[in-house]
Amino acid sequence: MKKPSKLYFEKSKLILSLAFLLSLSACNQSLTMEAKTDVPTPLAVKLPLSIGVHYDENFRNYTYEENSEDRQNWAIKSGTSQVDLFERVLPSMFQDISHIEDISGTLITDVDGVIVPEVEEMQFALPNETKSDLYEVWIKYKVKLLDKNGDLVADWPVTGYGKSSTEFLKSRDKGLQAAINSAFRDAGARFALTFSKIPAVCQSGATGIC
């Protein structure tokens, strides 16, 4: 039986090396992380209202997932941080806050209205994608205001944008983490500053804001 040639072994080593490098590349592209938030309490004048807040399961457990050629097996958990964001912002806006577990057609007493936030979309941009030195994050919420009967009074978008620089944050995870937190801060500030200016909220007259 003819022995394999030296060239055969060299080719085999090359194929194995390429396979190893490809596997490393796939591992480097994958991402599993849990977003953290450090949002300061907004400086806002409290409205004399008792507001309920309802976080559904989708909101509490929100995870951004993507499995594409450029972003293989991405899973960024941010549900806990989303709740933390609103838990920090809402008490700075209203006199009293209560948590409403069930909004399914039940009369809700002792509140002037109920806030229900939803995450509509999250987007990410890495430095190699934008040809810049920035990690960028966009987040879009849809916020609903319900009356005591659980009926929709108004809904409106709240967006946040955040960025961080590779100049200070060399790793992808830290860069994204900083950009996500910046987007949370921006969204929280926008929500606090614009709530009482939303035309649908004022026109409804349901909470006596305007």
Predicted pLDDT of residue 60: 95
Q: How far apart are CA 206 and CA 66, in angstroms?
A: 40
> What CATH number is attached to the domain comprising 196?
3.40.50.10610
Q: What band does 72 get if pLDDT is binned at 50, 70 and 90?
A: confident
Of the candidates 61, 70, 79, 78, the one whose C-alpha atom is nearest the C-alpha of residue 30 is 70
Q: How confident is the model at residue 105 (pLDDT cuts 50, 70, 90)?
A: low
Residue 151 lies in a domain: yes
Residues paired with residue 76 on neighbouring β-strands, in sequence order: 33, 64
Give the helix ranges, DSSP H, for 47-166: 57-60, 79-93, 127-130
* Per-residue pLDDT tens digits for 142-168: 999 998 888 898 999 999 999 998 876
Q: Which residue has the higher pLDDT, 101 or 8?
A: 101
180: enclosing H helix or E strand: helix 172-194
The pTM score is 0.80
Considering the domain boundaries, does residue 160 fall inside one?
yes
Condensed to tens digits (0 to 9), the pLDDT of residues 108-135 reads 778 888 999 999 999 999 888 888 889 9
Q: How many domains does the chain have?
A: 1
Whether 98 is in a domain gets the answer yes
Assigned domain for 109 exists? yes
Instruction: Compute CA distances 138 → 17, 124, 157, 181, 190, whole Å.
Output: 38, 7, 13, 11, 13
The boundaries of the domain holding residue 162 are 30-204
Share in percent of the chain as helix, strand, coil (round to 5): 40, 30, 30
Query: Is residue 1 assigned to a domain?
Result: no
